[in-house]
Amino acid sequence: MKINYSILEKKLNLKFKNKDLLIKSLTHKSYNKFINNEKIEFLGDRVLGLVIAKKLLEIYPNEKEGIIDKKFANLVNKKTCLKIAKNIQLEKFLLTFNPSKKKIKIEDKIISDSCEALIGAIYLDKGFSTVEKIILGLWEKKIKESIITEIDAKTKLQEFSLKKFKKLPSYKLISNTGPSHKPVFKVAVKLHNSKYYIAEGSSKKDAEQNAAILCLNNNFDK
């Protein structure tokens, strides 16, 4: 079945000058061991990191580095890349080994890696300003979610839970370990009909905030 790459270009609102570069970025090594997206993925990973890091520093000029680093990790990990890729149905445009020529389920890792490779291809074909615009557009919702800070996470979670379930989140202290000068609190939080989300902190309050952040990150877009 022939792949119509112009559909993907329309989704991205751009037109590649070098179509071979686009195709290469979506070609897995199982399909072609010599011409594939491995090296472009390596580049795309770095380009994505640069764009997201730059944006986070613009949004949080006075935030602690550790907090920005957490937000950065959540925005560039494979799980997020997979969600972004599936939002634009990237799996429909991938070339992978398929001897039967039938519809197959492509592994999540291949899809998320190809998302990074596509970013690398856009950078090579269009330059930094274009790829930055594309990334910020695709990641817009995820970046907005990252604005949930540690300070107001419990409040945000309470608002979210009341609005969606008409019930407050449920917190419980699981453990308090470690020496008195360096305690480790482990707290769990759950929403109505959700699983427990568990996090640690140097105080019960910090652990609750961290658990709230984890819960929000997993439920905010549902």
Q: How far apart are CA 32 and CA 148, in angstroms?
A: 43
Active site residue 208: no
Alpha helices, H only, the chain: 5-12, 19-25, 38-59, 65-76, 78-87, 108-126, 128-138, 140-145, 153-165, 204-219
Q: 41, 45, 113, 132: which one is catalytic?
A: 45
Q: 41, 91, 113, 116: which one is catalytic?
A: 116
Query: CA angle 135-139-142, nearest 5°?
Result: 160
Active site residue 65: no
Tell me the torsion sign for CA atoms 111, 137, 121, 42. negative
Token pair recorded at residue 176? 């308090």
Catalytic annotation, residues: 45, 116
